[in-house]
Amino acid sequence: MANGTGTQEIGGLMDWQALQIVRGMAGLNLVGCDLVEVSPPFDTSGTTALTAANLLFEMLCVLPGVPQDPPGPLHGFRIE
């Protein structure tokens, strides 16, 4: 349970469950991600911010691995 949020959910996801979901999205055709409801005034110990930072890092790690070939000036160009 994340204490540093404005709307706590009883029976919500545990940290490891959210991490498994994010990692399970690798290879999907994702175009973005969103991390919401982190409220520093309610996060007195900093654990929610740390968890949020970890999840955001994992989200960013999943996104670059998705095969994308958007039209534009770099169409067809990939850095591997």
* Amino acid 65: pLDDT: 58
pTM more than 0.85? no
**Where does the pLDDT of residue 1 fall: very low under 50, low under 70, confident under 90, or very high at 90 and above?**
low
Q: How far apart are CA 41 and CA 26, in angstroms?
A: 33
* Amino acid 6: pLDDT: 79
Q: Torsion over CA of 33, 37, 41 and 47, rounded to 10 degrees?
A: -70
pLDDT surpassing 80 at residue 73: no
Average pLDDT over residues 40-60: 89
What Cα–Cα distance (Å) separates residue 19 from each residue in 8, 25, 39, 56? 18, 10, 20, 10
